[in-house]
Amino acid sequence: MTQIVTVQTQPFDGQAPGTSGLRKKVKVFQQANYAENFIQSVFDSVTRDPGATLVIGGDGRFHNRTVIQQVIRMAAANGYGRVLVGRGGILSTPAASHVIRKYTASGGLVLSASHNPGGPDEDFGIKYNIANGGPAPEGVTTAIHARTLEIDRWLTVEADDIDLDRIGDVEVAGMTVSVIDPVADYADLMEELFDFAAIRKAVADGFTMRFDAMSAVTGPYAVEILENRLGFAKGTVVNGTPLEDFGGHHPDPNLIHAKELHDLMMGEDAPDLGAASDGDGDRNLIIGRGRFITPSDSLAMLAANIEIAPAYKGRLAGIARSMPTSAAADRVAEALGVPCFETPTGWKFFGNLLDAGKVTICGEESAGTGSDHVREKDGLWAVLLWLNILAARQIPVDQLAREHWARFGRNYYARHDYEGIAKDGADALMAEIKDSLGVLKGHAFGPLTVKLADSFSYSDPVDGSVSENQGIRVLFEDGSRIVFRLSGTGTQGATLRVYLERYEPADGRLDEETGAMLADQIVAAEAIAGIVEHTGRTAPDVIT
Ligand code: G16
C-alpha cells in the first residue's frame, strides 16, 4: 500500500536551477527525508507514461545501496511499471545512458558524485537523465528545483529491500524490478562500434596497455572488454574492483590523482598506452609512452581520426566542445569542412546537437569525450577509440600527436584550479572582471593585446534556449585566450578555474614545455583578475 510521508519544505541549494544534479556530503543525504524529498521532486516534475520504466545506475560508492532501495520503493509508489538496476547497484554513467536508450525507459536516476571522493564522510550525488539517455536539460532541472521549494510529501510503499546481487526479476508492490548484468549491454555496444578484430591483432602482435580503474565503477567493464574480449594480458586493468571509498583516493583521472600511471608512462617500462577513468566511468585520461595527451587535444585527435572506426565511417557530421575546452578541435573541424559548436560547460548542452544529428563527437577539457552512441561522456569509449585508431595506424601515441600538430598546429593548454576558496572572494573576482569587460578590449598585457572580452552566452541552435553567464572569455590578438569560471561540481566553498591557451601554427614552436609557453597568459590572468588578492592564494592548488 502506498504511504504518504508528510515533510517540511526543504529547498536544495545544491540543485540550483540549471545544475544537472544534487551533489552533497553523504551526511547531508543521510538526513531524514533529504534524498526522498529530492527523488520525489524529480518524480513530481518529469513527464512519463503510466507504467513507465526507470533505470537506476550507481557508481558503487558508499550510500549507493541505501538510496537504490529508497528509489525502488518510491518508484513503485509513484506509478512506475518497471525498474532496471545493475547488479550490485552498479551501472557506469555511460552504461546507464545506454540502458535507458536500449530499453526505451522514460529516464534514469544516476547515483554518483563522479570524480569526487567516496565514503561516510565524503560525497554522494543524484542526477536525473531523460529518455534520450542524457542529463536533464535546463528546463527539466529548473522544474525539479522549483518543486523542491514547495514539496510537502513523498510517496513510498512498505516493502523489504530487494537482493541487488541476484540477476533476475522481482516484484515490489506490483512493480517489476529487473536486476541486470551491468556490463553485457555496454560491452556489446562497444563491440558494434569498434574494430575489435584489429585491436585483438595489435594485442597479439605485442601492443600493451595499463588501464587504471581507480577502484571505481569501470573495473568490471574494463576487465570484460580489455582482458576478456580484446585479449590484453590479465592484470592490464589495475584497481579493478569497485570499492565504496575508492580505496581512499579521489577517482579523478588527472595527473595528480593518477600520478602512479603517469610516472609509469614516463618511465622505461611504459606500455604503449596508459588510460584511466573516474568514479562513474564517464571521464578518461590518455597517456602514451612518454606523452600525455590533454583532454582538449584528445578530442581533436579523436575527431580527426574517428572515421577509422567502423561505426563512424563516412559520418562525421560535426564536432562540439565546451567553451573552456581549447580550440584544437575547431582547427580539425575547419580542415575537414564540418561545423564546430562551442557550448557552455556541462554535457547536457551536447544533447540537442547529438539528437539533431548536428554533431557526431563532442568533448570537454574536464576529461570527457563521447559521441552519439549514448548521451553521456564515456571514458572507456574514448579509450577504445584510441585503441582502434592506434591499431589501424600502427604508430605510437607520441607520433600521432606530433603528426597532428604538424598538420593542424598546436594549442598549448593548462587549467589552474583554486579549490575550496571563500565563496565571497570568488564571486567578487568574477563580478569585478565582468564590470571591467568594457575597458579590456584593446588593452595590452605585456605582449598580449585583448581582442575580445565577454561573459559567454549560448543560444542553443536546436531549441533556441539561451544560457547566460557561462564563464568569462578573454581572447587576445595572437589567438591565445584566458577563461575564468567557477566550478559547478564542488561540495566545499568555491573553486575558481582559470583556463589558459596559446596557439602555435603548424610551422611554429610545436615541441615546447607547456608551462613556459603559457607564461605571458599566466601573468595576464593575474593582472586581469587579481587572483592572489581575491583568493588569498599565491599559486593554484591543481594544475592540469
Ligand atoms: C560535470 C559535467 C561535465 C562538466 C563538469 C564541469 O562533470 O558532467 O560536463 O564538464 O561537470 O565541472 P566543473 O563545473 O567543476 O568545472 P562530472 O564528471 O563531474 O559529472
CATH number of residue 310's parent domain: 3.40.120.10
Q: What is the pLDDT of residue 188?
A: 98
Q: What is the pLDDT of residue 19?
A: 61
**Nearest atom (ligand 1) to Cα of 282:** 18
Residues whose CB falls within 8 Å of the CB of residue 341, separated by 6 or more in sequence, listed in order: 318, 319, 320, 321, 353, 358, 359, 461
* CATH number of the domain to which 453 belongs: 3.30.310.50
**How many domains are there within the chain?**
3
How far, in Å, are 328, 341, 505 from residue 478 at the CA level?
15, 22, 11
Q: Indicate whether 124 and 44 sit together in one domain.
A: yes
The ligand 1 site (C-beta within 6 Å) comprises 114-115, 282-283, 322, 345-347, 364, 366, 368, 487-489, 497
Ligand 1 pocket, mutate which of 218, 418, 489, 541 (most atoms under 8 A from CB): 489
- The whole-model pTM stands at 0.95
Which parts of the chain sit beneath pLDDT 50?
none
Q: What is the pLDDT of residue 389?
A: 98
Q: Is residue 480 annotated as part of the catalytic site, yes or no?
A: no
Are the beta carbons of 275 and 383 closer than 8 angstroms? yes
pLDDT tens string 414-445 = 999 999 999 999 999 999 999 999 999 999 99
SS3 201: helix
SS3 72: helix
Are the beta carbons of 418 and 228 closer than 8 angstroms? no
Q: Indicate whether 361 and 434 sit together in one domain.
A: no
Write out the H or E segment, with its range, that includes residue 97. Answer: helix 93-102
Question: Among residues 48, 5, 61, which one has the least CA distance to residue 216?
Answer: 61
Q: Indicate whether 27 and 161 sit together in one domain.
A: yes
Q: What is the pLDDT of residue 46?
A: 96
SS3 452: strand
Q: Which domain range does residue 78 map to?
A: 2-182
Residues whose CB falls within 8 Å of the CB of residue 32, separated by 6 or more in sequence, listed in order: none
Q: Which of 20, 45, 114, 326 is catalytic?
A: 114
d(CA 350, CA 292): 26
Q: What is the pLDDT of residue 4?
A: 79
DSSP state of 303: H
Boundary of a domain, candidates 134, 149, 182: 182
Q: Indicate whether 98 and 163 sit together in one domain.
A: yes
Nearest CA to ligand 1 atom 1: 346
Cell readout for 494 is 568555491
Q: Indicate whether 225 and 268 sit together in one domain.
A: yes
Query: What is the 33 CA–ligand 1 centroid distance (Å)?
Result: 27
Query: What is the 377 CA–ligand 1 centroid distance (Å)?
Result: 10
Query: What is the 392 CA–ligand 1 centroid distance (Å)?
Result: 32
Query: What is the 43 CA–ligand 1 centroid distance (Å)?
Result: 24
Residues whose CB falls within 8 Å of the CB of residue 187, separated by 6 or more in sequence, listed in order: 221, 224, 225, 229
